[in-house]
Structure 1
Amino acid sequence: MDENNAECRPIDYYAQQLFDYHFLKQELKKADCIFVLGSHDPSVADYASQLYHEGFAPYIIFSGGVIRPVGELRNTTPKSEAEAFFDIAVEKGVPAEAIILENNATNTGENFIFTRKLLKEKELDFKSFILVQKPYMIRRTYATAKVQFADFDFTVSALPDTYDSYITRCIENNISKERVISNMTGDLQRLKIYPEKGFLIAMQIPAEVWNAYEKLIEMGFEGRMAN
């Protein structure tokens, strides 16, 4: 294969460029709460549990009202993302009383909006958060939090991973590579168009990353485009 010929490059070449861009890395620091945004990836709950046990925060909020089918989040009955994550965390030794559930959010913006409402209703005076998501949703989580959580101190984090090892782990959790790549193109599209809607702050997208996005769209990875 001629590496100088972009047309000959494999899908993974472009997908890794998106993964590396999306996976914004910040230094972890202790916080009042670990705030986990809903996801179809159960390893997000694994990582939140790990952070809890390592003493990074005394509480975990799981936010996510999307009902997932049996087996998608290691669940034996259909459950919301928050409820399925709760089960995973408890199995990993997190005390139930340290977990707060938000069961209504169906997208990233609602994760923040409904969690803020929940904090107010429960009179929880948390001022700092570790925001946890999948690696390829970290940049969009950060950009959204800069709008929705601007008055809080926060860092964003995901289980440290490479593109190859993340894909392997997803397949072990019944999440296909095709689904991951389509999600990554959808997230990049949102980073491009959502700032003008006020949903998140603008983030610079390097030309080579946008080119990789366009190549993946040409290859058919457009299953999660926003309107």
Structure 2
Amino acid sequence: MISTQTWADARRLWDHHLMHHTPRPCSVAIGLGSHDLGVADAAVELYRRGMAPLIVFTGATSPTTRDRMPRGEAVHYRERALELGVPDGAVLVEPHARNTGENIRFSRALLEENGVDVSSVLLVSKPYEERRANATARKLWPGVEFVSASSPMTFEEYVASIRDDRLVIDMLVGALQRLTIYPDRGFMVADPAPGEVTAAYERLCRAGFTSRLVAEGRGTVGQ
């Protein structure tokens, strides 16, 4: 049974992970690969609204997506976008990235190879990954403005969509830890959390929501 305090703490982390940006027209939308096809759906909706003339989907496979997306996350995202009516010429695929840092670096290289002039990026991710993706992108691609976006849903709606309450809280905790330790490793810019967010994170760790934490002595760029 998850306590009222735990739900309140998880909701506080969820709200912090969202950048609360208002989408605006950008040079390109980049959809970061994951298990969640909602990222592709959000990128398509932004494209339909005229927020970007081009979409890049980036991502290989991971242990959590190998069975669900055997052709690779970016490829499955592209297939979803085409099913939803996006023209083939408006989608580029970067199929090699295995973490957030590689998502950014490889997408940047792909756009340069295709002669796309980029001054701003709609960075589309899972909701709880907005802040981490933004901090990683600002570190690895200076001089570009990043506008974060994700599927518009409440915390309760996201929990219901995953159908695993504990896993969602574990993911929120893991994402906050990375925001805390990765700047010192040079993986992202510093984006310190307010005291009340840190306190909520520490309570959740003490309550055992730690399955998505990484060992603090190691890590992969932007993972």
Q: Normalization by structure 1: what TM-score? A: 0.87
How many residues end up aligned between the 2 structures? Answer: 212
Q: Which of 178, 191, 205 is matched with 1:190 structurally?
A: 178
1:4 corresponds in structure 2 to none
1:101 paired with 2:93, answer yes
The within-5 A match list for 1:53-202 is: 53-67=48-62, 68-70=65-67, 72=68, 78-171=70-163, 176-202=164-190
- Aligned amino acid, residue 17 of structure 1: R
2:209 corresponds in structure 1 to 221
| Deviation (angstroms), 1:214 | 1.6
CA RMSD of aligned residues (A): 1.8
Distance, in Å, in 2 between the alignment partners of 1:11 and 1:42 is 28
Contact 2:169-2:209 within 8 A present in 1 as well: yes
| Deviation (angstroms), 1:10 | 4.2
Contact 2:60-2:97 within 8 A present in 1 as well: yes
- Aligned amino acid, residue 44 of structure 1: V
Distance, in Å, in 1 between the alignment partners of 2:130 and 2:49 is 21
- Aligned amino acid, residue 32 of structure 2: L
Q: Deviations over 1:133-153 (max 9, x none)?
A: 111111111111211122212
Distance, in Å, in 1 between the alignment partners of 2:151 and 2:3 is 32
Distance, in Å, in 2 between the alignment partners of 1:127 and 1:205 is 28
SS in 1 for 2:203: helix
Which 5+ residue runs of structure 1 have no aligned equivalent? 1-6
| Deviation (angstroms), 1:124 | 2.2
SS in 1 for 2:122: strand
Contact 1:41-1:170 within 8 A present in 2 as well: no
Contact 1:127-1:153 within 8 A present in 2 as well: yes
| Deviation (angstroms), 1:164 | 0.4
Contact 2:138-2:146 within 8 A present in 1 as well: no
Distance, in Å, in 2 between the alignment partners of 1:124 and 1:158 is 23
Contact 2:30-2:56 within 8 A present in 1 as well: yes
Q: Normalization by structure 2: what TM-score? A: 0.88
- Aligned amino acid, residue 189 of structure 1: Q
2:30 corresponds in structure 1 to 35
